[in-house]
Structure 1
Amino acid sequence: MARHVARRDPRAHWVLLLLGLFLLLAALTVNGLVTGLAGGSGPSAAPDVPGPRTVTDGGPVLRLDQPEPVSRRMPDRTVALTFDDGPDPRWTPELLDVLRRHGAHATFFVVGSRVNAHPELVRRILDEGHELGSHTYTHADLATTSGWRADLELSLTRKAIAAATGREVTLLRPPFSSTTPSLTAAGYDALRAAAGSGHVAVLADLDAKDWQRPGVPAIVRASTPQPGRGAVVLMHDGGGDRGQTVAAVDQLLTRLSKQGYRFTTVSEGVDAPPSTVPAGVGTRLSGHALRWTQTGAEWAATAMNVLLAVALVLGVVRLAVQVTCAQLHVRRVRRPRHPRPPVTAPVSVIVPAYNEAANIAATVRSLVASAYPALEVIVVDDGSSDGTADIVERMRLRGVRVIRQANGGKPAALNTGIRAARADLLVLVDGDTVFQPDTVHRLVQGFADSTVGAISGNTKVANRRRLLGRWQHLEYVIGFNLDRRMYDVLECMPTIPGAIGAFRREVLLAVGGVPSDTLAEDTDLTMQVLRAGWRVVYEEAAIAWTEAPSSLRQLWRQRYRWCYGTMQAMWKHRHALREPGAGGKLGRRGLPYLTVFQIVLPLAAPAVDVFAVYGLLFLPWSTLVLAWLGLLLLQGLTAAYALRLDREGFGPLWTLPLQQLVYRQVMYLVVVQSAVTAVIGNRLRWQRMVRTGEAAVLVGAAPPGRSR
């Protein structure tokens, strides 16, 4: 109705939003791949088909870049201790301390993602004379991964090590590998492919199976070579509790050193050149970029975990406050402390109407049928082109006046009606709203308290036969009316809905009438009333039936206007934060609540949905299903409680899961659109909903879910 000049709606923000969500999902995926990695030496998921006999019968050090494989073994009384799955911030330093104390050297096959997390440990490994090898970037099973994934795993690991140490490694031990005889055909093919990028494979003669934590004596026995023989021993310094490994290494070094064994690196043991070479500048820079990416992904995951925790806590606190306040409100209504005489003063009902031909007759009839002794109805036709005023005039109802004016917007129509009203108590009603016979009487009873300046009624959805209508019905009952009970108790009601609200005439005149500089004139007006020092209360028994949007497009347009207008009103009345009295309660209670639950959390909701997709990829489905069912149960109980308070049937509860999957997304995207519009300074024009007349069926029929 209001004539705002409109520029084109922003569109680029949707591209930016999708790009941001994609980047967030990518970051979370990176974090999911590099955290919570399993440790251990087997078994692989590859088919259990033996590799070539020339390899399985040979030594554990394999060069496979020639037509025929070449294998090497450790010399007699030479042991190459090798450690997989690190570096680990706790166990790797303890193992390094043990090795240094015994003057022994070893080879550490590191996981690239853990190198990025603890580069200082990798540098310490090299500084203390030990050797580095690759154990892939995410502990991937090379025997079962695709070729491109295997190449990527090895390339990223080399870059991570290069960034941390300035060196590139050539040794490789594939995850889930063990001794040479256990090498499968698929594992052999993977090692042959890795040899093409310069990797030398290192398996083991002895697998300590320390990742199973069988006890220190068992680890020592499994790691001890045949008397006088040499061996490559497979152990682990990461991937879990390695306390038994540390103790076993200490005992093994003590025992075998006394028997004349030497402990060295793999390359030194087989008399091969050093296994590390200087890394190029490009490789080091790529490694640094990789580490920054991994660090950023970790921060993103941490931030999302914090966001979810905060949102969950806020949601539980909100629910607790809502339920507590609802109970207080119910007790206050049922057992008022100071009963007052009934209010019977004359009431003027003002109905602003713009192209309301579908519903206006039903609205006016319901008002005239009100069981209230002194009532006038003023219909202000705001330049309708569908004969709205003619319909009312042809009805020739007693006590109904029609005022015609050029289109000026809903606030202008309301102000015209306020000026023309004869009564001191005014009820403002939308042109698509149907009242019950007792609505006006119940609505104005709160004026028996001289401190009350305005009263909100209970708005209900009339057209709830379809799924979208049921969703809006649940939203009205659960969100709007639970909130209004809470606002009433906390004395910070921010909005009296345009469908049904009562005001003292003196209050409206004192605040300058209905404001027209925001799109949510009902919220703006209510906040002005509070800041003028008046109380605003909620009367749940004063019921108005309104027609809700019947399509997602209409719903979007309506909520876009509501949300944007609410933001305008909040900004306009931000100074209430510093005010005393009723205005201060709005500023320090109502405005923060609206900011958190109607702006901040909805703006964060797309990221939460991306986190849910991440959970589907990386978390156990049973955990996700239980969490979702738990939240749905909590929402269902809340909805049931709210329906019971409003004396509504529980039938629409079955639509709640679908509401969470569809309706919720529409609502938070509305907030995104509104926030972007507000930030870039666009003005949003009035977007009128197309009426279908479904609210009119309530005249002469019982409202849905209730008895007349």
Structure 2
Amino acid sequence: MGKRALRREPRAHWALLLLAMLVLFAGLCLNGYVTGTGAEGTHVPVEGAPGPAAATEGAAVQRLEPDGTVTSRALPAKTIALTFDDGPDPAWTPGILEVLARHRAHATFFQVGSQINRYPEITRQVVDGGHEVGLHTFTHVAAGTVPAWQLEAELKLTANALAAAGGPRATLLRLPYSATPRAQSAAEYDAWRRSAPGYLQVLTDHDTEDWRRPGVPAIVAAIKPGIVMLHDSGGDRAQTIAALEQAIPKLQAKGYRFVTVSEALRLPPPAAADPAQRWRGLILRIAQDTAAWLARTLTVLMTVAAAIGLLRLLIQLVTARIHWRRARARHERPLAYLGLVSVVVPAYNEAANIEATVRSLIGNDYPDIEVIVVDDGSSDDTAGIVERLGLPRVTVIRQPNAGKPAALNTGIRYAGGDILVLVDGDTVFAPDALGRLVQPLTDPEIGAVSGNTKVANRTGLLGRWQHLEYVIGFNLDRRMFEIARCMPTVPGAIGAFRRAAIQDAGGVSAQTLAEDTDFTMAVLRAGWHVVYEPAAVAWTEAPATVRQLWRQRYRWCYGTMQAMWKHRDTVFQRGPAGHLGRRGIGYLLLFQVLLPLTAPMIDVYGVYGLLFLHPVKVAAVWAGFTAAQVATAALALRMDGERYGPLWTLPLQQVVYRQLMYLVVIQSTIMALVGGRLRWHRMVRIGAAQQYAAAAPREADAARPR
């Protein structure tokens, strides 16, 4: 990720992302529709008026004639047509086929289209065994409760699935939840008449109700001459198989024949399916299999992401508690004097905040400081404002615009102290922030200290969301990073460094857009430790609009990726550098790149869950995660001495703000992959941090551990 020619930011990927999400959602919806497949007894169809007399008083096999009349036929004497609904099923259909083959009996199977697509080889076994296959809709819908177009589509899809599995052109139909002709309702009759007039409707003379598992003797007693309804799927069918083993040989000994419906009525054999129908069925099967794979994959992804997220919360809570105790012990010690502290303030067009920033620094209670403001070619009156203040120990250096890293390095060169505090030009320090910030540097192994940055403009939803992000995300992470000895970022708003650590790191690099992250990683690589001081409080101005937030986070994210790539070889090193590589960069890669990249898929899965999964379970999972996040946020706010008021915005943050952040990661990733180079997007300042100059003592005191 070295320097490259400036390129236009990619745009087409947003259309591709939207298309991919729509395709993913369509696939999940297909799986949700298909997995809604029912079975006998799992749905109560809508009851209503009975069908016409010609249908309800006719025989079990019915035909709708062109003139609209219904004709029916019954099976001849001494003939039994065993029919099996809801299959094929990998557990029970093969067992039924074995029994039928052993006794040289044939049967008719009314199969569900989605099940045929799942187990086409079993449908092939049924056909090869000399049995007959009829249609039972695609998802086992109750015919009288769905529109005519849906039922017609279900039958076409099932016929295509049967053709792709090697079956002939279907001629027989049994609608789900149907039984004897007398039980046929007007809604069911009308559904058959409007949606499937070309099919012979096969009802039943004897319903064994084997789906209730009434016992083998009851099923055996229900198998009588005529059309017998049984089931080969939808539940445990062991009783059905056992009943067949008893009933078939017993009735065969009495002269009864077990044949298919078509054989019993001497119907002509069905025609072979045409190639186009087989191809349509094959494409449908591929789509269904792909949709099922997507659903399984996303279920695993959701489970893994949830487990990782909960593990992260647990680690954050444990390490935050450890860090809180450590910081409290550190604060109980008297403040040490560490000599002259040089504060470097790089400033470019910071007229809105620079006076408040400089006054807060000079007003700090640390006894020996100097402030160096480096005006980096500002087009406003930034330098003039500072010069007219006439404050002692404040120096203004003007230079042509060369970027923030160059301004920092200029200030470092002019600084007289061995401890340097690097400060953004829109930051207001609490009165004791400098003294608190430099205290950890009494330990000679520590090379840098991160302060506690707080959002100044925290009104409105956007401000509250950023405030929560700073307190919950950034600060909890910093506590964890210190315990793990892998702090990847000392924020540009407030950070202290030893001059020796700066020299070992080679100064502030301009190779990435996240110079603070790059610089901190370089300090770690040089063998220094980096810690977090929560009592060193400073307020910074956060983006006030979505557009500004996007630009800021885009730069941060892209720059962090650059820094991670630049320091990738630390994964194989030892000491602080190895801690950075394996812990810090690994953590950033997982939680700031990989998981956000999967977030769109997880969100699509969430919508899918609302539509197709059990609503109570979906609501319970969402409520559980939200409660865990709220509890964590409350703890983080308490540790930071903040009020709990913004907590009410946290659920909204999950459905609005989080999406913006993962879109930032996607944009940054695409930009990195195509080799583009991002411009520095500067935020327009409005002077929001000035309001905290007077409130600093009270707020800083609240942030200290007790």
> Once the two structures are superposed, what CA deviation does each residue of 1:594-647 show, in whole Å capped at 9, x if it has no partner?
011000100100111100111111112111111111110010111111112212
Shift of 1:339: 7.0
Structure-2 separation of matches of 1:336 and 1:398: 32
In structure 1, stretches of 5+ residues that fail to align are: none
* Alignment-derived partner of residue 170 in structure 1: 171
Alpha-carbon distance change, 524 to 44 in structure 1, aligned in 2, over 3 angstroms: same
Is contact 1:79-1:231 (8 Å) kept?
yes
* Alignment-derived partner of residue 419 in structure 1: 413
Q: Does 1:334 align with 2:328?
A: yes
Is contact 1:343-1:448 (8 Å) kept?
no
Shift of 1:681: 1.3
Residues 5-154 of structure 1 aligned to structure 2 (within 5 Å): 6-40=6-40, 45-67=45-67, 68-154=69-155
* Alignment-derived partner of residue 210 in structure 1: 210
Is contact 1:87-1:110 (8 Å) kept?
yes
Shift of 1:702: 4.7
Residues 254-293 of structure 1 aligned to structure 2 (within 5 Å): 254-274=249-269, 276-293=270-287
**1:699 counterpart SS class:** helix
Shift of 1:5: 6.5
Structure-2 separation of matches of 1:597 and 1:98: 56
Q: Does 1:613 align with 2:607?
A: yes
Q: TM-score, normalised by structure 2?
A: 0.96
Moved more, 656-665 or 42-51: 42-51
Q: Does 1:695 align with 2:689?
A: yes
Residues 513-524 of structure 1 aligned to structure 2 (within 5 Å): 513-524=507-518
Residues 623-634 of structure 1 aligned to structure 2 (within 5 Å): 623-634=617-628
Match for residue 238 of structure 1 among 230, 233, 236? 233
Q: Which amino acid aligns with 2:498?
A: R
* Alignment-derived partner of residue 386 in structure 1: 380
Structure-1 separation of matches of 2:621 and 2:568: 38
Moved more, 329-338 or 169-178: 329-338
> Once the two structures are superposed, what CA deviation does each residue of 1:449-508 show, in whole Å capped at 9, x if it has no partner?
111111111111111122211111111111111100111011111111000111111221
Match for residue 317 of structure 1 among 305, 311, 314? 311
**2:201 counterpart SS class:** strand
Q: Does 1:345 align with 2:346?
A: no
Structure-2 separation of matches of 1:558 and 1:214: 68
Q: TM-score, normalised by structure 1?
A: 0.96
Structure-1 separation of matches of 2:165 and 2:287: 15
Structure-2 separation of matches of 1:4 and 1:340: 50
Q: Which amino acid aligns with 1:263?
A: F
Structure-2 separation of matches of 1:326 and 1:496: 18
Q: Which amino acid aligns with 1:255?
A: K
Is contact 1:640-1:653 (8 Å) kept?
yes
Residues 476-555 of structure 1 aligned to structure 2 (within 5 Å): 476-555=470-549
Q: Which amino acid aligns with 1:231?
A: G
Structure-2 separation of matches of 1:195 and 1:434: 76
Shift of 1:701: 2.6
Alpha-carbon distance change, 343 to 218 in structure 1, aligned in 2, over 3 angstroms: farther
Shift of 1:573: 0.7
In structure 2, stretches of 5+ residues that fail to align are: none
**1:93 counterpart SS class:** helix
Structure-1 separation of matches of 2:323 and 2:87: 60
Structure-2 separation of matches of 1:609 and 1:262: 57
Is contact 2:335-2:435 (8 Å) kept?
no
Is contact 1:463-1:469 (8 Å) kept?
yes
Structure-2 separation of matches of 1:681 and 1:6: 9
Alpha-carbon distance change, 150 to 36 in structure 1, aligned in 2, over 3 angstroms: closer
Alpha-carbon distance change, 413 to 241 in structure 1, aligned in 2, over 3 angstroms: same
> Once the two structures are superposed, what CA deviation does each residue of 1:408-462 show, in whole Å capped at 9, x if it has no partner?
1111111110111111100000011110111000111111111111111111111
> Once the two structures are superposed, what CA deviation does each residue of 1:322-370 show, in whole Å capped at 9, x if it has no partner?
1121122122223469979824311000111111111111111100000
**1:542 counterpart SS class:** strand
* Alignment-derived partner of residue 367 in structure 1: 361
Alpha-carbon distance change, 588 to 535 in structure 1, aligned in 2, over 3 angstroms: same
Shift of 1:4: 9.3
Is contact 1:109-1:134 (8 Å) kept?
yes
* Alignment-derived partner of residue 646 in structure 1: 640
Alpha-carbon distance change, 277 to 44 in structure 1, aligned in 2, over 3 angstroms: farther
Alpha-carbon distance change, 258 to 207 in structure 1, aligned in 2, over 3 angstroms: same
Alpha-carbon distance change, 43 to 456 in structure 1, aligned in 2, over 3 angstroms: closer
Backbone CA RMSD of aligned residues: 1.9
**2:656 counterpart SS class:** helix
Q: Does 1:597 align with 2:596?
A: no
Shift of 1:47: 4.9
Structure-2 separation of matches of 1:155 and 1:337: 76
Shift of 1:109: 0.5
Alpha-carbon distance change, 449 to 706 in structure 1, aligned in 2, over 3 angstroms: closer
Q: Which amino acid aligns with 2:476?
A: L
> Once the two structures are superposed, what CA deviation does each residue of 1:526-554 show, in whole Å capped at 9, x if it has no partner?
11111111111111111111111111111
Alpha-carbon distance change, 4 to 369 in structure 1, aligned in 2, over 3 angstroms: farther
Shift of 1:707: 5.5
Structure-2 separation of matches of 1:459 and 1:26: 44
Moved more, 425-434 or 238-247: 238-247
Report % sequence identity. Answer: 57
Structure-2 separation of matches of 1:355 and 1:251: 93
Shift of 1:37: 1.8
Give the length in aligned residue pairs: 699
**1:381 counterpart SS class:** strand
